[in-house]
Amino acid sequence: MKLIYFFITTFAFAQAENQHTTLWNLFKNVHNKQYNNLQDEQYRFGIFKNNLALINQHNLETDLGLHSYTLKMNQFGDMTHEEFARTMLGGFKMPSDSSTKFVGRPFHPPSNVDIPAAIDWRQKGAVISVIENQQQCGSCWAFTATCALEGQHFLKTGELVRLSAQNLMDCSGKFGNQGCNGGLMDSSFQYIKVNKGIDTEASYPYEAQEGDCRFNRSNVGATDTGFVDLPQGNETALQIAIATVGPISVAIDASQSSFQFYSSGVYDEPNCSTTNIDHSFTLVGYDTYQGKQYYIAKNSWGDTWGNKGYVWMSRNKNNQCGIASTGSYPLV
């Protein structure tokens, strides 16, 4: 009997390992992964299997009604969570120099305005369809700044122009931004105001590293006249701003391992912090799904992450993940 059990266990293990190997080869092909040597690849394969187990466990719990969102394997599947956090998070960074801490105008909600139950600025043409990919660079702050300004520029002029995050990366250092080491959307809006414009993405494409400033005034795609800061932690004001203004730049705590592999559904993470903010993106709408209120957030990790590059963040759950802690938008 023990011998039979041994053979059954060995066979099951071999089947599982074969399945893991098949999935690993697919993962490498889909995400164009290459490794320095066999030892490095075996190490990454081990991480991949651990992440796959985490994803499968979470999704089983979702099927049992324990979560409101699912996870999936993505381009971060061969990274430990510590590596992921070190590489992809930390892009939201407050300036260390008080001279580069800029304060926007206070938000004054319009009076006697009926706020819709749901809104999606993508459907109104105010959001670029391309999902940006910051790659292994802490430049989320630049992409949320350009996304918010793209929306405001469209709503004022009727033109949807893709703007250059690289322009901000290379040229806004004097305003407190630090390239791949992080920055702030407010500092970006201030730079654009003082600089009297930002170049288009077509004229100044993204390179995922900081370089020399090559701003060319003849390629300016949009301008701003300053920015507005939303009241900290006020989700009512945030909803009103999204409904009446357009896409809004925000930052969150994205440090939970569940966020690394988010796939679909309303992201509800009780372990999120409202103060340990480390990642920026743009809210382009809000809605409700199966009784759960959520914000529609456009991320900058490519379209293989999340729901084609988007995540539904929990709304009106005590400022979960700090979603309403740092909201702002440019004035045009």
**Which tens digits make up the pLDDT trace of 251-297?**
999 999 999 999 999 999 999 999 999 999 999 999 999 999 999 99
The whole domain housing 55 covers 1-67
CB 246 within 8 A of CB 151: yes
Sort strands 262-267 and 226-229 into parallel, antiparallel or unpaired: unpaired
Asked whether residue 138 is domain-assigned, the answer is: yes
- CATH of residue 317's domain is 3.90.70.10
- CA dist 146 and 218 (Å) reads 18
- CA dist 251 and 283 (Å) reads 10
Domain finish residue from 30, 45, 67: 67
Is pLDDT at 52 greater than 90 in this prediction? yes
Asked whether residue 74 is domain-assigned, the answer is: no
Domain finish residue from 67, 92, 115: 67
Are residues 188 and 212 both part of a single domain?
yes
Are residues 236 and 267 both part of a single domain?
yes
Are residues 203 and 286 both part of a single domain?
yes
Asked whether residue 234 is domain-assigned, the answer is: yes
Are residues 152 and 296 both part of a single domain?
yes
Are residues 258 and 177 both part of a single domain?
yes
**Region of residue 228 (left: phi > 0; alpha: psi -120 to 50; beta: else):** beta
Are residues 44 and 112 both part of a single domain?
no
Are residues 42 and 133 both part of a single domain?
no
- CA dist 124 and 113 (Å) reads 19
Are residues 96 and 215 both part of a single domain?
yes
Residue 301: strand pairing partners: 133
Is pLDDT at 2 greater than 90 in this prediction? no
Are residues 171 and 45 both part of a single domain?
no
- Token pair of 27 as six digits: 């993962």
Q: Which residues are catalytic, by number?
A: 140, 279, 299
- CA dist 140 and 254 (Å) reads 12
- What integer best gives the mean pLDDT of the chain? 93
Asked whether residue 75 is domain-assigned, the answer is: no
Asked whether residue 76 is domain-assigned, the answer is: no
Domain finish residue from 17, 33, 67: 67
Are residues 160 and 103 both part of a single domain?
yes
pLDDT in tens, 192-238: 999 999 999 999 999 999 999 999 999 999 999 999 999 999 999 99
Which pTM value belongs to this model? 0.92
Q: What amino acid is encoded at 293 in this protein?
A: Q
pLDDT of residue 111: 83
Mean pLDDT of 124-142: 97
Chain centre distance of CA 221: 23
Asked whether residue 136 is domain-assigned, the answer is: yes
Mean pLDDT of 92-104: 77
**For the chain, how many structural domains are there in total?**
2
Are residues 109 and 198 both part of a single domain?
yes
Is pLDDT at 11 greater than 70 in this prediction? no
pLDDT of residue 1: 53
pLDDT-derived band of residue 99, with 50, 70 and 90 as boundaries?
Answer: low
Are residues 59 and 146 both part of a single domain?
no
Asked whether residue 152 is domain-assigned, the answer is: yes
Asked whether residue 73 is domain-assigned, the answer is: no
